[in-house]
Amino acid sequence: MNAPTNPKELELQTVEFKLDGKTIVSYEGETILKAAKRHGVDIPHLCFKDGYRPDGNCRACVVEINGERALAPSCCRSATPGMEVKANSERAVKSQKLVLEMLLSDMPDEGFKWVGDSKEEEQQNQHGELSTWAARMDVTVRPELKALRREKVASDISHPAMAVNLDACIQCNRCVRACREEQVNDVIGYAMRGGHSEIVFDLNDPMGDSTCVACGECVQACPTGALMPKGLIGSQTVDRKVDSVCPFCGVGCQITYNVKDEKIVSVEGRDGPANHNRLCVKGRFGMDYIHNPQRLTKPLIRKAGVPKDENAIQNPQDWSSVFREATWEEALEVAGGGLKKLKDKHGLKVLAGFGSAKGSNEEAYLFQKLVRTGFGSNNVDHCTRLCHASSVAALLEGVGSGAVSNQVNDVEHSSMIFLIGSNPTANHPVAATWFKNAAKRGAKIVLCDPRSTEISKHAWRTMQFKPDTDVAMLNAMIYTIIEEGLVDQDFIENRANNFEALKENIKGYSPEAMAPVCGIPAETLREVAREFATTKSAMVLWGMGVSQHVHGTDNARCLIALVSITGQIGKPGSGLHPLRGQNNVQGASDAGLIPMMFPNYQRVDNPAAHAWFEKFWDTPLDQKPGYTVVEIMHKITAPDSDPDKIRGMYVEGENPAMSDPDLNHARHALASLEHLVVQDIFMTETALLADVVLPASAWPEKVGTASNTDRMVQMGKKAINPPGDAKPDLWIIQQIAKRMGLNWNYQGPDDGVAEVYDEMRQAMHAAINGITWERLEKESSVTYPCLSAEDPGRPIVFNDKFDTKDGKVKLVPADIIPANERPDADYPFVLITGRQLEHWHTGSMTRRATVLDAIEPMATVSMNGEDMTQLGVSAGDVITVQSRRGEVGIHVRRDDGTPRGVIFIPFAYYEAAANLITNAALDPFGKIPEFKYCAVKLAKGGHAAPVMGYGTNDPKRQKVTSVS
């Protein structure tokens, strides 16, 4: 893995050598180029990029070494004791300048990449780093060389996000290394030989027709503008650069916004601890959703006499017949006044709030505080209930903490990566690069999933088990480890409880007995179990394929048992990591945005915790856990005689009318509310059912912190102002609190965000006490637990004890519990839902991003080719998918990684909403719905709604492809 390292941390030996007559110190193995740069000497270079493997092919960085006949490339030559190096000798400089001149002579007259703060400077630097070095070295191209310029190469603009201008290519190989070695996507390569050699995509395809996943690593690597983001062709002069963190998945990549004319024109990857400059298509090319013309810019109030129709959710951008514009004062009075009126009339249990995992920690903390102290109940939840609630339930029960034990890129130290129920190349693309890097290094990836996904290409073993049989497969592995004496006895004796109960329970789960149940041969189950138990270090990472079942908690219990009995936890490269879905789902949960926990997972029915928060907030608090997302939907439709009937809701940045299971019921419930307040940046499907809609701020428009899947608290900074009259979410929450009778008075810039953070830090002192606001402003990212200002944070936890009362892991046996709804003669197929690379959550953001919508504009159902043949359909045809709750018409995509009898539908498309079909049955512990399994039937033909989009997609790119 090519993540940058700090030589001081590695305690390397030092080497003294002379550079241009001066003695300098190099670290053992450090290149001359890097050592020179550390000592203030810049040597020209083009094929070298920090963090990448040095290649030494451009020869712009050659230096003279005493005693050697040939000049040496400083980017891949290490210093040795006593070596005498001349970077500025006449011979070295002449060669450096000649290389730059020859490369510059082949450049087109007009470059794709102009860099500078003035027109004059742009002209000097029109070919990026090449022009920059030429200017610094005072290189001009002789007319004789210009006359020999190579034949012009046609540009390729077939890709929605990137332009290819190989006329400016110097074949430095950086794009190849970016694609094949950093991101490991294996799209870019060399073709032909000698003077005819060129960069190609796949089999010399146009970039837009290749297998490129648009991560943009190549455009970030290209030094000349041969590869460019389309949005930056021409002048790259920007007004300002703002450092922040990506607002999409839970990886938490650090980014830099480039702002021009009050618009974000491009995004660069930053050297953050989670991404080390890498980004995916969403982070690099998906940020223009904030400039979409459908942004809400005025408060809206439902027009008198316009009913709430759950059946009319078809075109969320056409809302003018439903709402009228209002002033902020009027809208807030109606919003807050309506909620308070219901509370005063019906009591403390009749209001509920859904917060957001897409906002900041400060917003999450303040929102849950509003519900508990202003509404008077614990009826507050967010999308963690729909993704990893069962994982958190099992982790709190087993290890005493709901967070990960090791960070994602700790797989650098893993000899085995056990990946289950996750499609990381689509859902956590940058995290997937660390897995692929580790595989190239020699680590063994084991992929366990009903679908064979892209990461299987890098897997040592792929266990494509039958849907709903996670416990059978995992118990068979646990059986093997116990039966064959592979248990870590020392770990069990000193650090685990309840092993004998686990051992007794496992007796009926031999691989031979479970093979026909889970579909994995017994010999494969045993082979993988042995390797897991005996390998030096094994990391288990899982996604919602594990958690979104009625037995999701049991699935996670099995994973906890697997790492515990083998001692594969509490050390580098070994541990448990549930990959978080949204950018701040970890932080929102930590901050208390869940109905049964105060901040930092202190139970609301724990007398000591309850008393502490009553004193801290100076308010009487409800002693009973509140209702969860799905339970709240049921409570809305409860009879009027039910004292806990939910009558009013405040929804901030969530979209339950798309994200909840059994949408017909969920939408009916939302439409039945007496008062619904929705705070969002777009007119979502949920907002269409509201009484008041409050226009909020997008992530780049505010200041705040977010906590990623690695337990890193990271600073997000404001790049631009919200559009029109839209307001920061933190301000809106405080305004609603004021109208609920709360006397909050947070002071300071950005609506008192630093003061809110400091209060949250006190409430979560056991985790983040050492992470002050000032420290975050300085360091950008700090890992918790971090208990003092001097504490660097702990990337690995459970080294010597767990967070349980006795410091030991609690092993909980699990038995097979079938899905709530099994296939039968009437509904013979299994539906699995999930995300895809280009779109995220319910699509309200990503489908309004120009590039993302252009790449994937159409809802599709993935099917095995043999099932398609049996049904008599081809790729692109329409089928009707029906469950006992609803149906959708949808276009078919062939995907032979999806097994026979199974279909997969992403849930981001409102015109083919997968959750119209899904089952609302709940896991009894995590209260999470069974999104990953329900019975459906398929019929050829039907009505597929037109590709609605949000006004950004290109009709010419509305195609359905096959996946081999």
pLDDT in tens, 537-548: 999 999 999 999
**Residue 886 burial by CB count (10 A; 0-12/13-18/19+): exposed, middle or buried?**
middle
Q: pLDDT > 90: what percent of the chain? A: 88
Between CA 273 and CA 859 the distance in angstroms is 35
C-beta of residue 662 within 8 angstroms of C-beta of residue 885: yes
Between CA 649 and CA 880 the distance in angstroms is 34
| pLDDT tens-place string over residues 801-857 | 999 999 999 999 999 999 999 999 999 999 999 999 999 888 999 999 999 999 999
| pLDDT tens-place string over residues 301-313 | 999 999 998 887 6
Q: Among positive and negative, which fits the CA dihedral 169, 172, 173, 174?
A: negative
Give the amino acid at 335: A
Angle, alpha carbons 851-852-855 (nearest 5°):
85
220 Cβ partners below 8 Å, 6+ apart? 178, 268, 269, 277, 279, 284
Residue 122's pLDDT band, with cuts at 50, 70 and 90, is very low
Q: From residue 801, how far is each of 75, 574, 601 by CA, in Å? A: 45, 15, 18
Q: Is the pLDDT of residue 953 over 90?
A: no
Q: Is the pLDDT of residue 4 over 70?
A: no
Prediction pTM value:
0.93
Between CA 263 and CA 288 the distance in angstroms is 8
Determine the pLDDT at residue 153.
Answer: 86
**What residues does 27 pair with on adjacent strands?**
14
DSSP string of 858-917, one letter each residue: S-EEEE-HHHHHHHT--TT-EEEEE-SS-EEEEEEEEBTTSPTTEEEEES--GGG-GGGT
Q: Among positive and negative, which fits the CA dihedral 935, 937, 942, 947?
A: positive
The torsion of the CA quartet 839, 842, 848, 852, rounded to 10 degrees, works out to 10
Determine the pLDDT at residue 7.
Answer: 41
33 Cβ partners below 8 Å, 6+ apart? 43, 45, 48, 54, 61, 74, 75
Give the amino acid at 636: I
Residue 553's pLDDT band, with cuts at 50, 70 and 90, is very high
Classify residue 151 by its DSSP letter. Answer: P
Q: What is the mean pLDDT of residues 928-953?
A: 82
b or e along 478-511 (b: 16 or more beta carbons within 10 Å of the residue's beta carbon)? bbbbbbeeebbeebbeebbbbbeebbebbeebbb
Determine the pLDDT at residue 871.
Answer: 97
| pLDDT tens-place string over residues 132-174 | 999 999 999 998 888 888 888 889 999 999 999 999 999 999 9
Q: Is the pLDDT of residue 587 over 90?
A: yes
- When the pLDDT of each residue in the chain is averaged and rounded to a whole number, the result is 93
Q: What is the mean pLDDT of residues 938-947?
A: 88
Task: Tell me the helix, strand and coil percentages in the chain, rounded to 5.
Answer: 35, 20, 45
Between CA 197 and CA 136 the distance in angstroms is 29
Between CA 519 and CA 459 the distance in angstroms is 18
- Phi then psi dihedrals of residue 694, to 5 deg: -110, 120
Q: Is the pLDDT of residue 388 over 70?
A: yes
Least confident among 187-196, 542-551, 674-683, 753-762: 187-196
C-beta of residue 273 within 8 angstroms of C-beta of residue 712: yes
Q: What is the mean pLDDT of residues 13-22?
A: 94
Q: What is the mean pLDDT of residues 718-727?
A: 97
| pLDDT tens-place string over residues 204-247 | 999 999 999 999 999 999 999 999 998 777 666 789 999 999 99
